[in-house]
Amino acid sequence: DLVRRLVVLGVLDAQRDAAGELWFPLSQLPAMARVQRLRAGFALNYAALGLVVDLLDRIAELESAARGRSRTPGGPKWTSTS
């Protein structure tokens, strides 16, 4: 029941076979583990899980982009006011 709800909410990606059974790519294993940790640690409802997962993904993208920027000594600083 939980897995079907997560697929409907778009938290997990799955495909249906000819018999209508759900099939998940291996990449969804870590996603499901993350969902289980979030539910256990924060007691989030199904709708909140989707939002939190989306926000965590966005944070990871932004952190990755920030790490990819040049870090030269004369470059802009986070604490800069100008």
Does residue 7 register a pLDDT over 70?
yes
The reported pLDDT for the residue numbered 55 is 94
Query: Band of the pLDDT at 74, cuts 50, 70, 90?
Result: low
The reported pLDDT for the residue numbered 3 is 87
Identify residue 49 by its one-letter amino acid code: L
CA distance 52 to 48: 6
- Does pTM top 0.75 for this prediction? no
CA 44 from centroid of its chain's CA atoms: 14
